Amino acid sequence: APTPHPRPLKTALLMLVTVAPGAVVLFAPLTLGHQALLGLAVVVLSLILTRLRHPQAALWAMVVSALISGRYLVWRSTMFVSEFEGEWCLSATGSELGLAVLLFLAELYAFGMLLVGYLQSAAPLARPTVALPDDPTTWPTVDVLIPTLDEPLDVVRTTVLGAQAMDWPADKLRVHLLDDGWRPDFREFAESADAQYHARSDNSHAKAGNLNHALGRTDGELVLVLDSDHVPTRGFLQRTVGAMVQDEQLALVQTPHHFHTPDPFERNLGTEGAVPPEGELFYRHLMKGNDLYNAVFFCGSCAVLRRSALEKIGGFPTETVTEDAHTGLRLHRNGFRSAYVDTPLASGLATERIATHVAQRARWARGMLQVFRIDNPLLCRGLSLGQRLLYTTAMVHFLNGFPRMAFLLAPAALLLLGKDVFFASAPAVVAYALPHLLIGVLTHARVFGEHRHPLWSEVYETVVAPYLVIPTALALVFPKAGGFGVTQKGEIIEQDHTDLGVAWPYVILGAINLLALANGARLLGVSFDLADAGHLGALAQPGLLMNMMWALHNLVILGVALAVTREHRQRRRHARLPWTIDGRMALEERGDVTCQTRNLSRGGARLILERPHE
C-alpha cells in the first residue's frame, strides 16, 4: 500500500476502549482523604509505567496521565460554584471571578494541547524508504527552487552548489536561484555555476509569489524547495522521490529542518549537546505522529512537492505569510497524500540572535492564525477527522502566549492584589493538583524526554509568549494584516551584550513575581501573628506558601529567559563544525603529510599534522 498500514493505531484505540470504564475516575465523588490516597496510588503507578521500556507502557502512562489530569480539571470546574440551601450559585463575582475564569481557560488550553500531543505520540509512523526504479531514465525531472531576498551570497552559494551535487541524472535536475533582490552578483554567480537565474519585476506576495513566478517558468515533474541556507545531502532526492514514483497521489514529502549551528538558547546558555534544540520535538517526534494520519505539514523548505498537485491548487497560496502550512492544507483538502522522512537530509543555519528568533516565531504565529481564519480546518471540506484535529492544533498552538502569560501572572493576583483565583484550600490543591502536575512531568519525560526536557518546554514558551499575544490577537481580528519578513542568517555579533529590546518583558514579569514573593513573605509573617489565621481566608499560611512557590518557579523560568538575551560574541562568518576527518596535506617542499581535521568550515579548517619525515 502507498501508506503503511497503521496497526499501532489500532492497538492504541483498543487500549483506550479497554480502559474506557476507567473514565469514571473523572467524575467519581471522593472525600479529600480518599482523593489523596488515589493521587498517591496513581503517582506510584505512573512511576512504574514511565520506567518500563516497553512501548505499551508509554501508551498506558499517557492514558493514566490524561485521566488524572481530566479529573483535576473536572474538580477545578466545580470550584466556581458552591451549594447553598440546596441551590448552586457562583463562588465569587467581579474581578476575582474574571481572573479565575481566565486561569481556568489557560489550564483547559494546556490540557487540550497535552491530549493532542499524546495522540501524536501514541503510534508514530516509522516510514521505510521506498527504492527508486532500477532504470534512472524513468526517474522524474526535478526543479530545485531556492528563493532569496536579501541573504548574503556566501550563504546562498553553498546551497546552490550543494543542490547541483545531488546524486540525480544531470539531464533531469535543474537548479534555480530565485532572486527577489535583483542583485547583479547573484546573476553572475548563477551563470558561472550553471544554475538558472530568475528575477521578477516586483516582490508581490513575498516568498509565495517568488515561488509561483518560478513555477510558471519551469516544467519539472517534481519541485524541491530549499531555503537559501539549507544545503542538501547528495542522497536527498534518492531518499525522498521513490515514494512519489510509487504513489501518484503523494504530493508532499517533507524532511526535518536540521541546523548545524547552535540556536540562541544553545549558544547563549551553553547547552549545545546537553539539551535538545527547540525544534527537535516537532521535527523528530510529532511529525512522525502526523504522518500516521496523513497530516504532514509542508514546512517551507527541505520538501519535495508534485507539480501537478501544486497546479491543481493554484500554486503556493498568497493570502497569508505562512504559505508553507497553507500549501499543505490545500493539498490535503484536494485529496493528496503526504509523507515524512525522519532523516535529516539537509542542513541549515539556525537563527543567531534571540531577537531574530522571537520575530520569526511571531511571524509564524500570525501566519498560522491567518490560515485559521481564511481556511479554517474545522469548517473547510476535504479533510479527515485526524487532519482537522492536527491542523487546528498546529494553528491554535500559537495562541499559547495567552495561557503562558496567565501562568506567569497568576500568583501575583493573590500575593499582590489579594484576589483568590484558585478557589480551593491548600489540602485540596495538594490532593488534586499535585498528582496532576507530577504525573504530567513524569509522562512528559517518558514520552518526549529524548527530544524535549520538561523544564525547557516552559523556557521556550516563556521566551516567545510576550511577543505572540499582540500578533495573534491582530491576526484573529484582521487576518489580512501584516507583511512577510525574512529570517536573517549568518549575522555577526561584535561583542557580548544584553539585548534590552528583547529582555524588557522578562524584567517586568520577573519584577512582578519578585514583588509578589516579597509581599507573600510579609503576609506570611502577619498570619503567624494572628490568633486565627483562618480570618485571612485565601491568604492563610498554606495558600500563601503555595503561591509563593509558584512565584519562585516563575522567577526561575524568567531568569533563564533573561539569560538567553545575553548575546555572546560571534564574529565568524562561517560556522565551524567539530568534524574529525583523516586526510593528507600536500606541502610544496616536503611532499604529502598525514593530517586530521579538528573542525571544518566554508572558510577554513583546523588541522593536526603528523610530524614530517626528515
pLDDT band per the 50, 70, 90 thresholds, residue 14: low
Out of 143-152, 203-212, 328-337, 476-485, least confident range: 476-485
pLDDT higher than threshold 90 for residue 402: yes
Pick the more confident residue, 498 or 164: 164
**Catalytic residue numbers, as ranges:** 180, 324
What does the alpha-carbon distance between residue 11 and residue 76 come to, in Å, rounded to a whole number? 32
pLDDT in tens, 490-521: 566 767 788 889 999 999 999 999 999 999 98
What pLDDT is attached to residue 22?
Answer: 63
pLDDT higher than threshold 90 for residue 370: yes
What does the alpha-carbon distance between residue 458 and residue 453 come to, in Å, rounded to a whole number? 9
pLDDT higher than threshold 50 for residue 592: yes
pLDDT higher than threshold 70 for residue 248: yes
* For residues 137-166, average pLDDT: 95
pLDDT higher than threshold 50 for residue 4: no
pLDDT in tens, 253-295: 999 999 988 889 998 998 888 888 988 999 999 999 999 999 9
pLDDT in tens, 89-138: 566 667 888 888 899 999 999 999 999 999 999 888 888 899 999 999 99
Measured from the Cβ of residue 345, the count of other Cβ atoms closer than 10 Å reads 20
What pLDDT is attached to residue 578?
Answer: 81
The type of residue at 357 is H
What does the alpha-carbon distance between residue 47 and residue 53 come to, in Å, rounded to a whole number? 12
Would you state the cell numbers that stand for residue 384, as one nine-digit string? 479527515
What pLDDT is attached to residue 195?
Answer: 96
Which among 208, 180, 256 is positioned nearest to 370, based on CA atoms?
208
Residues of the chain with pLDDT > 70: what percent?
A: 88
pLDDT higher than threshold 90 for residue 141: yes
Q: Is 145 helix (H, G, I), strand (E, B) or coil?
A: strand
Between helices 454-477 and 354-374, what is the axis angle to 10°? 50
* For residues 25-41, average pLDDT: 89
Pick the more confident residue, 183 or 79: 183
What pLDDT is attached to residue 88?
Answer: 54
What pLDDT is attached to residue 606?
Answer: 87
Which among 90, 75, 89 is positioned nearest to 425, based on CA atoms?
75
What does the alpha-carbon distance between residue 392 and residue 414 come to, in Å, rounded to a whole number? 34
**The residue count for the chain:** 614
pLDDT in tens, 374-399: 999 999 999 999 999 999 999 999 99
Residues forming beta bridges with residue 253, ordered by sequence position: 304, 339
Pick the more confident residue, 453 or 257: 257
Would you state the cell numbers that stand for residue 147, as one nine-digit string? 528563493
The stretches of 24-152 forming alpha helices (DSSP H) are: 32-51, 55-78, 94-121
Residues forming beta bridges with residue 592, ordered by sequence position: 586
Q: How far is CA 191 from CA 175, 176, 188, 198, 214, in A?
A: 11, 11, 5, 11, 17
What sign does the dihedral 77-79-80-81 (CA atoms) show?
Answer: positive
Model-level pTM greater than 0.75? yes
